[in-house]
Chains A and B, each alone.
Chain A
Amino acid sequence: MQQFWLAFGFGLVTASVLAISAVGLSLQFGITNYINFAYGDFMALGAFLTLEVNSGFLHLNIWFAMVGGSLGMGVLAVLINRFLLSPFARRFDKTFYVLIVTFGLSLIILNVIYAIWGANVRAYNMPIEQVLHIGPFLLTRNQLIVMAISLSLMVLVHIMLKTTRLGKSMRAMSDNTTLAMTSGIDTKRITTITWFLSGTMAGLAGTVLGITEGNLTPASGELFLFVIFAAVIVGGVGSIYGAMAGAVLIGLATEISAVFINPSYKLDVAFVLLILTLLFRPSGLFARPGKA
């Protein structure tokens, strides 16, 4: 039983990382209506930008570096959308083209990271942590901070979507872009802001993944991608709250399964859940009409 609670604690950590990444992916998907297959590499690039600020010439504390790396990734995401993705999406009706472009972008970004930072396993420069006993859980201070960041970010996203003008515009665009445009919403501006948020969250997720795992490699984001997809599909594609719920579910399931099976396969459990969802509830837990 004690093992179960330990795994539950780790599950909450994984869920926190997943929630940030899944919500970032879903926000952008809701607005532009195509999946960004380079999202995993956005995460890795953000993580390496953080590494540069953390252990490069600036030598900033990891948490300040994280803010820098994430915002940097947000700006890059805006530029990538402005000069690459949005022209392709505007020019071609079929989503095929832009999907293949994001897939190609993932290859390019991955190799840019390899070329700049090399293929070695790296780690952030942060003090060695003592493990804390909190109730039945065993967690480090960093893991607790990550959970707090994730939780407050989710609350912020919720407040933004429900109360601010920006959030309402985003929800309107996600429901019907044309209608939103005719109602006087500046769709171009909203799209740019969304890409900024999505990129920032990708960078943040990549960094906290590196912090909680204790190491980072250029391919770490890409290999994490299917877990994010599983969270998004299980939760219901296009639904932000679904993404949050899916993240918690997948995060807990993967870590708790490690108690029973060889931990090397714990992430593959996410794929099993994805298949089960497809078989029994293809639209996900929180289905949105017209999106699946």
Chain B
Amino acid sequence: MSAFWYYVFTLLFFLFDYFILAMGLNIQYGETGILNFAYIGFVAIGAYVTGAVSMPDSAGTGQHYILGLNIPFPINLIIGGLTASALALIVALISLRRLRTDYLAMVLISLSLVLYDICNNFVPLFNGADGLYNVPEPMAGVLKLTTNSFVPFFAGVAGVVALIMWFLMSRITRSPLGRTFRAIRDDAGVASALGKGVFRYQLTSMLIGSFYAGVGGGLIIQFGGSFNPSAWLPGETFVIFAVIIVGGVGNNIGMIAGSLLVETLLVHLPAFLPSIPSHPGLIEYVDAMVIGILLMVMLWFRPQGMIPERIRRSPISASTPLSSVTAVAARAGAEPLSTVEEGGAS
């Protein structure tokens, strides 16, 4: 296989993978309004656990890691996703109920930095700063894949996983659960006044999103065969935010557009450019600046993203006669509701 196709399939893999990651962050931030600045930490935990459970016992490998259970492909991915969710459960129970959006974001970004610090320094956990390597290529043994045929094969696998995840996510966002998420995002005070347990829904959203993060991370470690702390500096979370904001917050299809533009074109394509000898790494730095600037320009001129969220209309439209309850609510509407909003926002 020529180098060209190798690149193409690598790019395709990252397109699918970031589609999954973006959907996970989208349900947290785009649908429910949780500013999860620790997202990449959940991705990393998913990746490490997926890798570690699929590897043999650490004794003879020259690496230090926990688990090492030889668990085969689809199951290890699910374990990775569930572990990320379990971490999210702990985090959410401690911090979600008590904090306003921006303090929550502070705690989460701190969490991301601390997780990084611990995984980087504590060698027995996931081999410290060297990270895990020689992670088995899933199904390579059964299908007799070579290093060359593995890349297109696994890009296909990621495509299938992404399709399944997208199908599930589109069910969730269309369901009453998704509707409640959006109500909380738009105004948590009103949602709770209508009897929705805001905390419980935010918790659910965190768990679902983190599962997506874990699965996306699990695919990355199995595709590359290795994963180390340099792959998940806290700034990486921002790239995923850029994907969903450029693509269109609150829209699953927008995620693939954002992932194509930001992840494939801006993050991975420049990696193939020849580097400037006098300034090694300069392309990478400029690239990161471009992503930051693109996001700001996008937020300013088109905050709804390339493919905006569809306005979902309820079956009761203006032409339908109002039932007595909604009529009363509509007449009493404006004044009392706005007081509720102010109380809830503080």
* Residues A108 and B94 in contact, CB atoms below 8 Å apart: no
Bound CA–CA A84/B245 (angstroms): 18
Determine which of B99, B281, B296 lies in contact with A84 in the assembled complex, contact meaning CB atoms within 8 Å: B296
Q: Is the interface of A mostly helix, strand, loop or mixed?
A: helix
Give the distance in Å from the alpha carbon of A146 to the alpha carbon of B191 in the complex. Answer: 50
Contact flag A233-B285 (CB < 8 Å), given A88-B300, A99-B35, A107-B238: no
Q: How far is the CA of A162 from the CA of B301 in the complex (A)?
A: 42
Name the B residues within 8 Å of A223 (CB-CB): 113, 117
The proximity string for B residues 193-226 relative to A, scoring 1 for CB distances below 8 Å and 0 otherwise, is 0000000000000000000000000000000000
Let me know if A230 and B94 touch, CB within 8 A: no
Which residues from chain B contact A91 at a C-beta distance below 8 Å? 300
For the complex, is B241 an interface residue (Cβ under 8 Å from A)?
Answer: yes
Q: Are A274 and B110 in contact (CB under 8 A)?
A: yes
Q: Which of A103, A105, A267 has the most CB of B within 10 A?
A: A103
A264 to B121, CA, bound (A): 7
Q: In the complex, A92→B346 CA distance in Å? A: 17
- Check B117 against A267 for contact (C-beta < 8 Å): yes
Contacts of A4 in B (CB 8 A): none
Q: When A95-B101, A97-B299, A119-B281 are in contact, do A105 and B292 touch as well, CB less than 8 Å?
A: yes
- B-contacting residues, A94-150, CB 8 Å: 95-97, 99-101, 103-108, 110-112, 114-115, 119
CA distance A264 to B120 in the complex (A): 10
Asked whether any CB of chain B lies closer than 8 Å to the CB of A237, the reply is: yes
Instruction: Give the B interface residue count (CB, 8 A).
Output: 47
- Nearest chain B CB to A12's CB is how many angstroms away? 23
B142 to chain A, nearest CB (A): 42
A232 CB, nearest partner CB in chain B, Å: 8
Are B94 and A115 in contact (CB-based, < 8 A)? no
A88 to B298 Cα, complex, angstroms: 12
A282 and B99 contact, CB distance less than 8 A: yes
A18 to B299, CA, bound (A): 33
Contact flags B60-75 to A (C-beta < 8 A → 1, else 0): 0000000000000000
Among A92, A104, A233, point to the contact of B103 (Cβ < 8 A): A233
With A108-B292, A230-B110 as contacts: A96 and B101 at CB distance below 8 Å: yes
How long is the Cα–Cα vector from A99 to B94 in the complex, in angstroms?
A: 22
> What is the CA–CA distance of A237 and B106 in the complex, to the nearest angstrom?
11
Most-contacted residue by chain A among B37, B106, B238 (CB, 10 A): B106
- A233 and B235 form a contact (CB under 8 A): no
Closest B residue to A104 by beta carbon equals B292
Q: Which of A103, A119, A278 is the one whose CB lies under 8 Å from B107?
A: A278
Tell me how far the C-beta of B100 lies from the nearest C-beta in chain A, rounded to whole angstroms.
7
A87→B299 CA distance, assembly (Å): 12
Most A Cβ at <10 Å: residue of B281, B288, B303 = B288
CA gap between A34 and B293 in the complex, in Å: 20
Asked if A107 meets B291 with Cβ closer than 8 Å, knowing A96-B35, A275-B94, A292-B100, the reply is: yes
Within 8 A of A (CB), among B113-127: 113-114, 117-118, 121-122
Are A112 and B289 interface neighbours, CB within 8 A? Answer: yes
Per DSSP, chain B at the interface is: helix
Q: Which B residues lie within 8 Å of A186 (CB)?
A: none
Measured CB to CB, the nearest residue on chain B to A237 is B103
Whether B292 lies near A107 (C-beta < 8 A) is: yes
Interface pair A233/B107, CB less than 8 Å apart: yes
Contact (Cβ within 8 A) A100 B245:
yes
Q: Complex formed: what's the CA distance from A108 to B238 in Å?
A: 11
A233-273 residues at the B interface, CB under 8 angstroms: 233, 237, 262, 264-265, 267-268, 271
Given the contacts A100-B241, A101-B296, A271 and B114 also touching, CB distance less than 8 Å: yes
Q: State the Cβ distance, A131 to closest chain B Cβ, in Å.
A: 27
A155 close to chain B: CB less than 8 A? no
Q: Are B107 and A37 within 8 A (Cβ)?
A: no
* A37 lies within 8 A of B291 (CB): no
Chain A residues with CB under 8 A of B114: 226, 268, 271
Chain B residue numbers with a CB within 8 Å of A286 are none
Expressed in whole angstroms, the Cα–Cα distance for A229 and B281 within the complex equals 31
Q: Is A279 part of the binding interface, using a Cβ–Cβ cutoff of 8 Å?
A: yes
Rounded to whole Å, the gap between the CB of B240 and the closest CB of chain A is 11
* Chain B residue with the shortest CB-CB distance to A29: B102
**Bound CA span A151–B168, Å:** 57
Q: Give bound CA distance, A265 to B295, whole Å.
A: 34
| Complex-state Cα separation, A281 to B211, whole angstroms | 30
> Is B98 a contact partner of A282 (Cβ separation < 8 A)?
yes
B295 to chain A, nearest CB (A): 5
A residues near B111, Cβ cutoff 8 Å:
271
A52–B159 CA distance with the chains assembled, in angstroms: 49
Q: Which residues of B contact A274 (CB under 8 A)?
A: 107, 110
- 14 residue pairs bridging A and B, Cβ less than 8 Å apart: A100-B299, A104-B241, A107-B292, A222-B235, A223-B113, A225-B109, A230-B110, A232-B106, A271-B110, A274-B110, A282-B99, A292-B99, A292-B100, A292-B103
Q: Would you list the 6 A-B pairs with minimal beta carbon distance, nearest first?
A: A226-B110, A108-B292, A111-B285, A115-B285, A282-B98, A111-B288
Since A103-B37, A110-B235 are in contact, a sample of 19 more A-B pairs with Cβ atoms closer than 8 Å, ordered by chain A residue number, is: A88-B299, A91-B300, A92-B303, A99-B105, A100-B299, A104-B292, A108-B292, A115-B286, A222-B113, A223-B113, A225-B109, A262-B121, A267-B117, A268-B114, A271-B111, A275-B94, A278-B94, A282-B98, A282-B99
Q: Residues on B close to A: CB < 8 A? A: 33, 35, 37, 94-95, 98-103, 105-107, 109-111, 113-114, 117-118, 121-122, 233-235, 237-238, 241-242, 245, 279, 281-282, 285-286, 288-289, 291-293, 295-296, 299-300, 303, 346
